[in-house]
A and B are shown apart, each in its own frame.
Chain A
Protein backbone atom coordinates (compact mmCIF):
# COMPACT_ATOMS: atom_id res chain seq x y z
CA UNK A 1 0.00 0.00 0.00
CA UNK A 2 1.42 3.40 -0.97
CA UNK A 3 1.33 6.02 1.72
CA UNK A 4 3.01 8.93 3.40
CA UNK A 5 3.54 9.89 7.02
CA UNK A 6 1.97 13.12 8.16
CA UNK A 7 1.97 15.25 11.26
CA UNK A 8 -1.56 15.86 12.58
CA UNK A 9 -1.29 19.52 11.59
CA UNK A 10 -0.43 18.53 7.99
CA UNK A 11 -3.93 17.18 7.63
CA UNK A 12 -5.21 20.66 6.93
CA UNK A 13 -2.83 20.96 3.99
CA UNK A 14 -3.84 17.57 2.65
CA UNK A 15 -7.56 18.27 2.72
CA UNK A 16 -7.16 21.83 1.45
CA UNK A 17 -4.94 20.47 -1.29
CA UNK A 18 -7.69 18.14 -2.50
CA UNK A 19 -9.86 21.19 -3.13
CA UNK A 20 -7.10 23.51 -4.35
CA UNK A 21 -5.72 21.06 -6.89
CA UNK A 22 -9.17 20.17 -8.11
CA UNK A 23 -8.97 16.53 -7.06
CA UNK A 24 -12.47 16.94 -5.70
CA UNK A 25 -15.06 19.64 -6.27
CA UNK A 26 -16.41 19.50 -2.76
CA UNK A 27 -15.69 17.73 0.50
CA UNK A 28 -18.14 16.28 2.99
CA UNK A 29 -16.30 16.24 6.28
CA UNK A 30 -16.78 16.79 10.00
CA UNK A 31 -16.14 20.22 11.43
CA UNK A 32 -15.96 21.30 15.01
CA UNK A 33 -18.59 23.51 16.57
CA UNK A 34 -17.52 24.11 20.14
CA UNK A 35 -17.94 20.93 22.15
CA UNK A 36 -19.52 19.04 19.32
CA UNK A 37 -18.90 18.03 15.71
CA UNK A 38 -21.17 17.90 12.70
CA UNK A 39 -20.76 17.52 8.96
CA UNK A 40 -20.20 20.25 6.41
CA UNK A 41 -20.08 20.38 2.65
CA UNK A 42 -17.06 22.51 1.95
CA UNK A 43 -15.98 24.15 -1.25
CA UNK A 44 -13.64 26.91 -0.10
CA UNK A 45 -10.30 25.49 1.14
CA UNK A 46 -9.94 28.34 3.63
CA UNK A 47 -12.97 27.07 5.52
CA UNK A 48 -11.02 23.98 6.54
CA UNK A 49 -9.38 25.14 9.74
CA UNK A 50 -8.36 22.44 12.16
CA UNK A 51 -9.61 19.16 10.71
CA UNK A 52 -7.53 17.10 13.16
CA UNK A 53 -9.78 18.37 15.95
CA UNK A 54 -12.93 17.10 14.23
CA UNK A 55 -12.30 14.07 12.07
CA UNK A 56 -11.05 11.87 14.90
CA UNK A 57 -13.68 13.05 17.36
CA UNK A 58 -15.31 9.96 18.90
CA UNK A 59 -18.81 11.22 18.27
CA UNK A 60 -21.45 9.84 15.94
CA UNK A 61 -23.79 12.43 14.53
CA UNK A 62 -25.30 10.91 11.42
CA UNK A 63 -24.01 8.39 8.91
CA UNK A 64 -22.24 10.51 6.28
CA UNK A 65 -23.27 8.08 3.53
CA UNK A 66 -26.88 8.92 4.32
CA UNK A 67 -26.12 12.58 3.64
CA UNK A 68 -24.96 11.93 0.09
CA UNK A 69 -27.33 9.07 -0.69
CA UNK A 70 -28.88 9.40 -4.12
CA UNK A 71 -26.51 12.12 -5.31
CA UNK A 72 -26.06 10.95 -8.86
CA UNK A 73 -24.01 13.92 -9.97
CA UNK A 74 -21.03 14.37 -12.23
CA UNK A 75 -19.05 16.58 -9.85
CA UNK A 76 -16.58 14.80 -7.67
CA UNK A 77 -17.32 14.71 -3.96
CA UNK A 78 -14.84 13.63 -1.34
CA UNK A 79 -16.14 12.09 1.89
CA UNK A 80 -14.03 12.08 5.03
CA UNK A 81 -15.69 9.77 7.52
CA UNK A 82 -15.45 6.77 9.81
CA UNK A 83 -15.05 3.29 8.31
CA UNK A 84 -18.71 2.33 8.89
CA UNK A 85 -19.82 5.39 6.97
CA UNK A 86 -17.44 4.65 4.11
CA UNK A 87 -18.63 1.04 4.04
CA UNK A 88 -22.21 2.26 3.79
CA UNK A 89 -21.19 4.50 0.88
CA UNK A 90 -19.65 1.50 -0.87
CA UNK A 91 -22.88 -0.46 -0.41
CA UNK A 92 -24.79 2.48 -1.90
CA UNK A 93 -22.47 2.46 -4.91
CA UNK A 94 -23.28 -1.23 -5.38
CA UNK A 95 -26.96 -0.44 -5.01
CA UNK A 96 -26.55 2.11 -7.82
CA UNK A 97 -27.49 4.99 -5.54
CA UNK A 98 -24.20 6.75 -6.14
CA UNK A 99 -21.50 6.76 -8.77
CA UNK A 100 -18.13 5.27 -7.85
CA UNK A 101 -16.30 7.63 -10.26
CA UNK A 102 -17.70 10.76 -8.66
CA UNK A 103 -16.74 9.85 -5.10
CA UNK A 104 -13.42 9.97 -3.34
CA UNK A 105 -13.87 7.97 -0.17
CA UNK A 106 -11.50 8.81 2.65
CA UNK A 107 -11.78 6.55 5.68
CA UNK A 108 -10.43 7.66 9.03
CA UNK A 109 -9.42 5.36 11.90
CA UNK A 110 -12.14 5.15 14.51
CA UNK A 111 -11.82 4.15 18.12
CA UNK A 112 -15.52 3.77 18.72
CA UNK A 113 -17.83 6.70 19.23
CA UNK A 114 -20.13 8.19 21.81
CA UNK A 115 -23.53 9.53 20.87
CA UNK A 116 -23.12 13.21 20.22
CA UNK A 117 -25.09 14.04 23.38
CA UNK A 118 -22.73 12.00 25.56
CA UNK A 119 -19.74 13.41 23.71
CA UNK A 120 -20.80 17.00 24.24
CA UNK A 121 -21.58 16.47 27.93
CA UNK A 122 -18.22 14.85 28.56
CA UNK A 123 -16.13 16.90 26.18
CA UNK A 124 -13.88 18.08 28.99
CA UNK A 125 -12.83 14.48 29.65
CA UNK A 126 -12.88 13.11 26.11
CA UNK A 127 -11.31 15.93 24.14
CA UNK A 128 -10.75 16.00 20.40
CA UNK A 129 -9.82 12.37 20.16
CA UNK A 130 -9.67 9.36 22.42
CA UNK A 131 -7.54 6.26 22.67
CA UNK A 132 -8.43 2.98 24.28
CA UNK A 133 -6.80 3.89 27.63
CA UNK A 134 -8.84 7.06 27.92
CA UNK A 135 -12.01 5.22 26.89
CA UNK A 136 -11.39 2.53 29.47
CA UNK A 137 -11.06 5.17 32.19
CA UNK A 138 -14.30 6.80 31.08
CA UNK A 139 -16.03 3.42 31.02
CA UNK A 140 -15.21 3.16 34.72
CA UNK A 141 -17.09 6.41 35.25
CA UNK A 142 -20.10 5.08 33.37
CA UNK A 143 -19.45 7.04 30.17
CA UNK A 144 -19.97 4.40 27.52
CA UNK A 145 -19.46 4.31 23.79
CA UNK A 146 -22.46 3.47 21.64
CA UNK A 147 -23.45 -0.19 21.71
CA UNK A 148 -23.04 -0.37 17.93
CA UNK A 149 -19.44 0.78 18.34
CA UNK A 150 -18.77 -1.63 21.19
CA UNK A 151 -19.71 -4.60 18.99
CA UNK A 152 -18.00 -3.22 15.86
CA UNK A 153 -15.06 -5.30 14.65
CA UNK A 154 -14.07 -2.99 11.79
CA UNK A 155 -12.92 0.17 13.50
CA UNK A 156 -9.60 0.49 11.70
CA UNK A 157 -9.77 2.21 8.34
CA UNK A 158 -9.23 -0.33 5.57
CA UNK A 159 -11.85 0.56 2.97
CA UNK A 160 -12.42 3.35 0.47
CA UNK A 161 -9.93 5.12 -1.78
CA UNK A 162 -7.71 6.71 0.85
CA UNK A 163 -7.24 5.83 4.49
CA UNK A 164 -5.98 8.10 7.23
CA UNK A 165 -4.55 5.88 9.92
CA UNK A 166 -3.24 6.68 13.37
CA UNK A 167 -0.47 4.20 12.81
CA UNK A 168 2.75 6.06 13.54
CA UNK A 169 2.66 7.12 17.17
CA UNK A 170 1.69 10.76 17.25
CA UNK A 171 1.85 10.91 13.50
CA UNK A 172 -0.67 9.83 10.88
CA UNK A 173 -0.33 7.82 7.72
CA UNK A 174 -2.33 8.68 4.62
CA UNK A 175 -2.38 5.84 2.14
CA UNK A 176 -4.10 5.15 -1.16
CA UNK A 177 -6.01 1.89 -1.49
CA UNK A 178 -7.27 2.30 -5.04
CA UNK A 179 -5.78 3.84 -8.17
CA UNK A 180 -8.02 6.82 -7.63
CA UNK A 181 -6.71 7.24 -4.10
CA UNK A 182 -3.04 6.88 -5.07
CA UNK A 183 -3.54 9.36 -7.92
CA UNK A 184 -5.10 11.84 -5.53
CA UNK A 185 -2.18 11.58 -3.11
CA UNK A 186 0.31 11.85 -5.99
CA UNK A 187 -1.40 15.02 -7.22
CA UNK A 188 -0.84 16.47 -3.74
CA UNK A 189 2.89 15.87 -4.23
CA UNK A 190 3.21 13.67 -1.18
CA UNK A 191 6.26 11.45 -1.29
CA UNK A 192 4.67 8.03 -1.28
CA UNK A 193 6.45 4.97 -0.05
CA UNK A 194 5.39 1.43 0.71
CA UNK A 195 3.57 1.25 4.01
CA UNK A 196 2.35 -1.80 5.83
CA UNK A 197 -1.05 -0.91 7.21
CA UNK A 198 -2.47 -4.41 7.55
CA UNK A 199 -2.33 -4.12 11.36
CA UNK A 200 -3.44 -7.72 11.70
CA UNK A 201 -2.70 -8.08 15.41
CA UNK A 202 -4.52 -4.87 16.28
CA UNK A 203 -7.51 -5.88 14.17
CA UNK A 204 -7.69 -9.26 15.83
CA UNK A 205 -7.70 -7.64 19.25
CA UNK A 206 -10.52 -5.28 18.24
CA UNK A 207 -12.50 -8.16 16.73
CA UNK A 208 -12.01 -10.21 19.90
CA UNK A 209 -13.21 -7.39 22.15
CA UNK A 210 -16.16 -6.75 19.83
CA UNK A 211 -17.14 -10.43 19.89
CA UNK A 212 -17.05 -10.47 23.70
CA UNK A 213 -19.31 -7.41 23.84
CA UNK A 214 -21.65 -8.92 21.26
CA UNK A 215 -21.95 -12.17 23.19
CA UNK A 216 -22.67 -10.21 26.36
CA UNK A 217 -25.69 -8.46 24.82
CA UNK A 218 -29.05 -9.74 25.99
CA UNK A 219 -30.41 -12.24 23.48
CA UNK A 220 -33.94 -11.95 22.22
CA UNK A 221 -34.49 -15.52 21.14
CA UNK A 222 -38.26 -15.64 21.24
CA UNK A 223 -41.29 -14.03 19.74
CA UNK A 224 -42.52 -12.80 23.11
CA UNK A 225 -39.20 -11.10 23.71
CA UNK A 226 -39.39 -9.43 20.30
CA UNK A 227 -42.92 -8.25 20.97
CA UNK A 228 -41.82 -6.72 24.24
CA UNK A 229 -38.72 -5.22 22.64
CA UNK A 230 -40.74 -3.41 19.99
CA UNK A 231 -43.66 -2.61 22.25
CA UNK A 232 -42.83 1.08 22.52
CA UNK A 233 -42.27 1.54 18.80
CA UNK A 234 -44.44 4.31 17.40
CA UNK A 235 -43.60 3.35 13.78
CA UNK A 236 -42.27 6.83 13.10
CA UNK A 237 -39.82 5.18 10.67
CA UNK A 238 -37.02 7.45 11.72
CA UNK A 239 -34.75 4.38 11.87
CA UNK A 240 -35.46 3.89 8.19
CA UNK A 241 -34.85 7.52 7.32
CA UNK A 242 -31.51 7.62 9.13
CA UNK A 243 -30.39 4.23 7.84
CA UNK A 244 -27.77 4.76 5.15
CA UNK A 245 -28.62 1.57 3.27
CA UNK A 246 -32.43 1.80 3.36
CA UNK A 247 -32.82 3.49 0.03
CA UNK A 248 -36.20 2.81 -1.64
CA UNK A 249 -37.72 5.97 -3.09
CA UNK A 250 -41.21 4.65 -2.42
CA UNK A 251 -41.17 2.74 0.84
CA UNK A 252 -43.76 -0.03 1.11
CA UNK A 253 -44.68 1.32 4.53
CA UNK A 254 -45.77 4.65 3.08
CA UNK A 255 -48.25 2.96 0.77
CA UNK A 256 -51.84 1.90 1.59
CA UNK A 257 -50.97 -1.78 2.14
CA UNK A 258 -48.09 -0.98 4.43
CA UNK A 259 -49.76 1.93 6.18
CA UNK A 260 -53.43 1.03 6.54
CA UNK A 261 -55.79 3.64 7.96
CA UNK A 262 -59.48 4.06 8.69
CA UNK A 263 -61.70 1.42 7.10
CA UNK A 264 -58.77 -0.86 6.31
CA UNK A 265 -57.87 -0.93 9.99
CA UNK A 266 -61.46 -1.65 11.00
CA UNK A 267 -61.45 -4.59 8.62
CA UNK A 268 -58.21 -5.88 10.12
CA UNK A 269 -59.63 -5.48 13.62
CA UNK A 270 -62.70 -7.44 12.56
CA UNK A 271 -60.55 -10.18 11.11
CA UNK A 272 -58.26 -10.53 14.11
CA UNK A 273 -60.47 -9.42 16.97
CA UNK A 274 -57.97 -6.73 17.97
CA UNK A 275 -54.94 -5.11 16.43
CA UNK A 276 -52.21 -3.03 17.98
CA UNK A 277 -51.97 0.68 17.28
CA UNK A 278 -50.07 2.15 15.60
CA UNK A 279 -50.37 -0.88 13.34
CA UNK A 280 -47.59 -3.03 11.98
CA UNK A 281 -44.71 -2.64 14.45
CA UNK A 282 -43.55 -6.22 13.97
CA UNK A 283 -44.27 -6.32 10.26
CA UNK A 284 -42.36 -3.09 9.71
CA UNK A 285 -39.27 -4.09 11.65
CA UNK A 286 -39.13 -7.67 10.41
CA UNK A 287 -39.49 -6.50 6.81
CA UNK A 288 -36.89 -3.83 7.27
CA UNK A 289 -34.41 -6.18 8.90
CA UNK A 290 -34.80 -8.47 5.91
CA UNK A 291 -34.39 -5.57 3.48
CA UNK A 292 -31.11 -4.45 5.03
CA UNK A 293 -30.02 -7.98 5.95
CA UNK A 294 -27.07 -8.13 3.59
CA UNK A 295 -26.15 -4.45 3.46
CA UNK A 296 -26.40 -3.31 7.09
CA UNK A 297 -22.99 -1.98 8.11
CA UNK A 298 -23.90 -1.92 11.80
CA UNK A 299 -23.35 1.81 12.27
CA UNK A 300 -26.17 2.08 14.82
CA UNK A 301 -27.72 5.19 13.25
CA UNK A 302 -31.12 3.51 13.73
CA UNK A 303 -30.69 3.39 17.48
CA UNK A 304 -29.56 7.01 17.64
CA UNK A 305 -32.58 8.01 15.59
CA UNK A 306 -35.16 6.25 17.75
CA UNK A 307 -37.21 8.80 19.70
CA UNK A 308 -38.40 6.06 22.08
CA UNK A 309 -34.85 4.93 22.89
CA UNK A 310 -35.38 1.36 21.73
CA UNK A 311 -31.91 -0.23 21.63
CA UNK A 312 -32.20 -1.12 17.97
CA UNK A 313 -28.55 -2.16 17.79
CA UNK A 314 -29.63 -5.37 19.50
CA UNK A 315 -31.98 -5.97 16.60
CA UNK A 316 -30.60 -4.68 13.28
CA UNK A 317 -26.82 -5.22 13.35
CA UNK A 318 -27.07 -8.33 15.51
CA UNK A 319 -29.53 -10.12 13.24
CA UNK A 320 -28.13 -8.92 9.92
CA UNK A 321 -24.71 -10.15 11.01
CA UNK A 322 -26.11 -13.67 11.08
CA UNK A 323 -27.50 -13.34 7.57
CA UNK A 324 -24.22 -11.91 6.31
CA UNK A 325 -22.43 -14.88 7.84
CA UNK A 326 -24.35 -17.42 5.74
CA UNK A 327 -23.30 -15.59 2.57
CA UNK A 328 -19.80 -14.93 3.94
CA UNK A 329 -20.39 -11.35 2.96
CA UNK A 330 -18.94 -8.27 4.63
CA UNK A 331 -20.85 -5.20 3.47
CA UNK A 332 -18.71 -2.41 2.11
CA UNK A 333 -15.54 -4.44 2.00
CA UNK A 334 -15.14 -4.62 -1.75
CA UNK A 335 -16.92 -2.50 -4.33
CA UNK A 336 -16.50 -5.23 -6.97
CA UNK A 337 -18.08 -8.03 -4.94
CA UNK A 338 -21.71 -8.56 -6.01
CA UNK A 339 -24.51 -8.08 -3.49
CA UNK A 340 -25.60 -11.50 -2.22
CA UNK A 341 -29.14 -11.14 -3.56
CA UNK A 342 -27.91 -10.37 -7.07
CA UNK A 343 -25.77 -13.48 -7.37
CA UNK A 344 -26.06 -17.20 -6.79
CA UNK A 345 -24.20 -20.45 -6.98
CA UNK A 346 -25.76 -23.53 -8.43
CA UNK A 347 -25.16 -25.61 -5.36
CA UNK A 348 -25.45 -23.85 -2.03
CA UNK A 349 -27.50 -23.16 1.07
CA UNK A 350 -29.74 -26.24 0.92
CA UNK A 351 -29.08 -26.87 4.61
CA UNK A 352 -30.20 -23.32 5.41
CA UNK A 353 -33.60 -24.01 3.81
CA UNK A 354 -34.53 -26.88 6.04
CA UNK A 355 -32.42 -27.34 9.16
Chain B
Protein backbone atom coordinates (compact mmCIF):
# COMPACT_ATOMS: atom_id res chain seq x y z
CA UNK B 1 0.00 0.00 0.00
CA UNK B 2 1.67 3.19 -1.14
CA UNK B 3 1.56 6.53 0.63
CA UNK B 4 -1.49 8.42 -0.50
CA UNK B 5 -1.49 12.18 -0.64
CA UNK B 6 -3.14 13.57 2.45
CA UNK B 7 -5.77 15.59 0.61
CA UNK B 8 -7.45 13.00 -1.56
CA UNK B 9 -7.30 9.93 0.55
CA UNK B 10 -10.42 8.21 1.78
CA UNK B 11 -9.85 6.97 5.31
CA UNK B 12 -11.04 3.60 6.52
CA UNK B 13 -12.74 3.92 9.87
CA UNK B 14 -13.97 0.99 11.92
CA UNK B 15 -16.67 1.60 14.49
CA UNK B 16 -17.89 -0.56 17.33
CA UNK B 17 -21.41 0.39 18.31
CA UNK B 18 -23.94 -0.77 20.82
CA UNK B 19 -27.03 -2.50 19.45
CA UNK B 20 -29.41 -0.53 21.66
CA UNK B 21 -28.30 3.01 21.00
CA UNK B 22 -25.72 4.00 18.42
CA UNK B 23 -26.60 1.22 16.02
CA UNK B 24 -30.23 2.38 16.19
CA UNK B 25 -29.04 5.97 15.80
CA UNK B 26 -27.24 4.96 12.61
CA UNK B 27 -30.50 3.44 11.43
CA UNK B 28 -32.35 6.60 12.32
CA UNK B 29 -29.80 8.71 10.46
CA UNK B 30 -30.47 6.51 7.43
CA UNK B 31 -34.25 6.56 7.62
CA UNK B 32 -34.25 10.30 8.15
CA UNK B 33 -31.97 10.66 5.12
CA UNK B 34 -29.13 12.40 6.92
CA UNK B 35 -26.03 12.42 4.77
CA UNK B 36 -22.70 11.35 6.16
CA UNK B 37 -19.45 10.19 4.54
CA UNK B 38 -19.21 6.48 3.73
CA UNK B 39 -15.83 5.98 5.43
CA UNK B 40 -17.00 4.13 8.50
CA UNK B 41 -17.60 0.40 8.71
CA UNK B 42 -19.76 -0.41 11.65
CA UNK B 43 -19.53 -3.54 13.78
CA UNK B 44 -22.51 -4.10 16.01
CA UNK B 45 -22.01 -5.26 19.57
CA UNK B 46 -24.80 -6.09 21.97
CA UNK B 47 -23.37 -3.57 24.43
CA UNK B 48 -20.41 -1.23 24.53
CA UNK B 49 -19.29 -3.38 27.47
CA UNK B 50 -18.64 -6.16 24.96
CA UNK B 51 -15.81 -4.16 23.45
CA UNK B 52 -12.62 -5.99 24.22
CA UNK B 53 -9.80 -3.42 23.89
CA UNK B 54 -7.99 -6.10 21.93
CA UNK B 55 -10.47 -5.48 19.08
CA UNK B 56 -9.27 -1.90 18.89
CA UNK B 57 -5.62 -2.91 18.93
CA UNK B 58 -6.17 -5.48 16.22
CA UNK B 59 -8.03 -3.01 14.02
CA UNK B 60 -5.36 -0.35 14.44
CA UNK B 61 -2.50 -2.77 13.83
CA UNK B 62 -4.23 -4.01 10.69
CA UNK B 63 -4.02 -0.51 9.33
CA UNK B 64 -7.39 1.15 9.93
CA UNK B 65 -7.01 4.92 9.76
CA UNK B 66 -9.50 5.50 12.54
CA UNK B 67 -11.46 3.55 15.12
CA UNK B 68 -14.37 4.61 17.22
CA UNK B 69 -16.56 3.11 19.84
CA UNK B 70 -19.96 4.40 20.75
CA UNK B 71 -22.44 3.37 23.39
CA UNK B 72 -25.40 4.57 25.41
CA UNK B 73 -24.91 7.66 27.54
CA UNK B 74 -23.52 6.73 30.97
CA UNK B 75 -26.44 5.78 33.18
CA UNK B 76 -28.61 4.68 30.24
CA UNK B 77 -27.12 1.27 29.52
CA UNK B 78 -29.64 -1.35 28.41
CA UNK B 79 -27.83 -3.76 30.73
CA UNK B 80 -27.60 -1.18 33.55
CA UNK B 81 -23.82 -0.87 33.83
CA UNK B 82 -22.10 -2.24 30.71
CA UNK B 83 -20.98 1.17 29.54
CA UNK B 84 -19.54 2.06 32.95
CA UNK B 85 -17.19 -0.90 32.67
CA UNK B 86 -16.48 -0.02 29.05
CA UNK B 87 -15.53 3.50 30.05
CA UNK B 88 -12.86 2.27 32.46
CA UNK B 89 -11.39 -0.10 29.90
CA UNK B 90 -11.36 2.51 27.17
CA UNK B 91 -9.72 5.04 29.48
CA UNK B 92 -6.97 2.50 30.22
CA UNK B 93 -6.52 1.61 26.57
CA UNK B 94 -6.33 5.25 25.51
CA UNK B 95 -3.69 5.89 28.14
CA UNK B 96 -1.60 3.14 26.55
CA UNK B 97 -2.25 4.31 22.98
CA UNK B 98 -1.31 7.83 23.97
CA UNK B 99 2.22 6.66 24.70
CA UNK B 100 2.64 5.92 21.00
CA UNK B 101 0.59 8.76 19.56
CA UNK B 102 -2.24 6.48 18.45
CA UNK B 103 -4.89 7.93 20.72
CA UNK B 104 -5.96 10.58 18.23
CA UNK B 105 -7.11 7.85 15.87
CA UNK B 106 -9.33 6.27 18.50
CA UNK B 107 -12.50 8.15 19.41
CA UNK B 108 -15.25 7.38 21.86
CA UNK B 109 -18.77 8.73 21.78
CA UNK B 110 -22.01 8.37 23.64
CA UNK B 111 -24.90 8.50 21.14
CA UNK B 112 -28.43 7.42 22.07
CA UNK B 113 -30.97 5.79 19.76
CA UNK B 114 -32.80 9.08 19.25
CA UNK B 115 -29.71 11.00 18.17
CA UNK B 116 -29.64 10.19 14.45
CA UNK B 117 -28.51 13.65 13.56
CA UNK B 118 -25.73 13.59 16.16
CA UNK B 119 -24.56 10.29 14.69
CA UNK B 120 -24.42 11.71 11.16
CA UNK B 121 -22.57 14.81 12.33
CA UNK B 122 -20.14 12.77 14.41
CA UNK B 123 -19.31 10.55 11.45
CA UNK B 124 -18.74 13.62 9.33
CA UNK B 125 -16.46 15.27 11.86
CA UNK B 126 -14.49 12.12 12.47
CA UNK B 127 -13.98 11.47 8.76
CA UNK B 128 -12.67 15.02 8.36
CA UNK B 129 -10.36 14.70 11.34
CA UNK B 130 -8.90 11.40 10.18
CA UNK B 131 -8.45 12.80 6.69
CA UNK B 132 -6.43 15.60 8.19
CA UNK B 133 -4.28 13.11 10.11
CA UNK B 134 -3.56 11.23 6.91
CA UNK B 135 -3.18 7.48 6.43
CA UNK B 136 -2.39 5.40 9.49
CA UNK B 137 1.35 5.06 10.09
CA UNK B 138 0.67 1.38 10.73
CA UNK B 139 -0.61 0.79 7.21
CA UNK B 140 2.69 0.52 5.43
CA UNK B 141 4.59 -1.14 8.25
CA UNK B 142 5.65 -4.74 8.16
CA UNK B 143 4.24 -5.97 11.42
Are B87 and A287 within 8 A (Cβ)? no
What B residues does A323 contact at CB under 8 A? 92, 95-96
CA distance A326 to B101 in the complex (A): 18
Interface majority SS (helix, strand, loop, mixed), chain A: helix
- Give the residue name and chain of the B residue nearest to A351 (CB): B91
Are B100 and A220 within 8 A (Cβ)? yes
CB distance from A298 to the nearest CB of B (A): 16
CA distance A350 to B91 in the complex (A): 8
Are B54 and A349 within 8 A (Cβ)? no
B40-58 CB mask vs A (1 if < 8 Å, else 0) is 0000000000000110011
Are B91 and A290 within 8 A (Cβ)? no
Are B57 and A353 within 8 A (Cβ)? no
- Tell me the total A-B contact number using a CB cutoff of 8 A: 102
Are B53 and A344 within 8 A (Cβ)? no
Q: B4 at interface (Cβ–Cβ under 8 A)?
A: no
What A residues does B79 contact at CB under 8 A? none
What B residues does A223 contact at CB under 8 A? 100-102, 137-138
Q: B75 at interface (Cβ–Cβ under 8 A)?
A: yes
Chain A residues close to B by CB (< 8 Å): 220-227, 252, 271-276, 280-283, 286-287, 289-290, 293-294, 319, 322-323, 326-327, 340-341, 343-350, 352-354
What A residues does B57 contact at CB under 8 A? 283, 286-287, 290
Knowing A252-B54, A282-B61, A287-B54, say if A344 contacts B88 (CB, 8 Å): yes
A-B contact list, 20 entries, CB within 8 Å: A221-B99, A222-B101, A223-B138, A226-B99, A272-B1, A280-B143, A283-B58, A287-B53, A289-B96, A290-B53, A293-B95, A319-B95, A326-B91, A326-B92, A340-B92, A341-B88, A349-B88, A350-B87, A353-B87, A353-B108
CB distance from A301 to the nearest CB of B (A): 20
Are A222 and B142 within 8 A (Cβ)? no
Q: B81 at interface (Cβ–Cβ under 8 A)?
A: yes
Are B95 and A322 within 8 A (Cβ)? yes
The 9 tightest CB contacts between A and B, nearest first, are A344-B84, A352-B91, A353-B108, A349-B91, A274-B142, A223-B100, A323-B92, A323-B95, A293-B92
Knowing A223-B100, A281-B143, A290-B53, say if A353 contacts B90 (CB, 8 Å): yes
CA distance A274 to B142 in the complex (A): 6
Are A283 and B61 within 8 A (Cβ)? yes
Q: B78 at interface (Cβ–Cβ under 8 A)?
A: no
What A residues does B102 contact at CB under 8 A? 223
B74-86 CB mask vs A (1 if < 8 Å, else 0) is 1100000100110
CA distance A272 to B62 in the complex (A): 8
CA distance A294 to B88 in the complex (A): 11
Knowing A287-B54, A289-B96, A354-B107, say if A276 contacts B85 (CB, 8 Å): no
Knowing A349-B88, A354-B107, say if A319 contacts B1 (CB, 8 Å): no
Other contacts beyond A275-B143, A319-B99: 19, CB < 8 A? A220-B99, A224-B137, A226-B99, A226-B100, A227-B141, A252-B54, A272-B142, A276-B142, A280-B143, A282-B143, A287-B53, A287-B54, A290-B54, A293-B96, A319-B96, A322-B96, A348-B87, A349-B88, A352-B94
- Give the residue name and chain of the A residue nearest to B83 (CB): A344
What A residues does B141 contact at CB under 8 A? 227
CA distance A323 to B141 in the complex (A): 27
Q: B89 at interface (Cβ–Cβ under 8 A)?
A: yes
CA distance A282 to B138 in the complex (A): 11
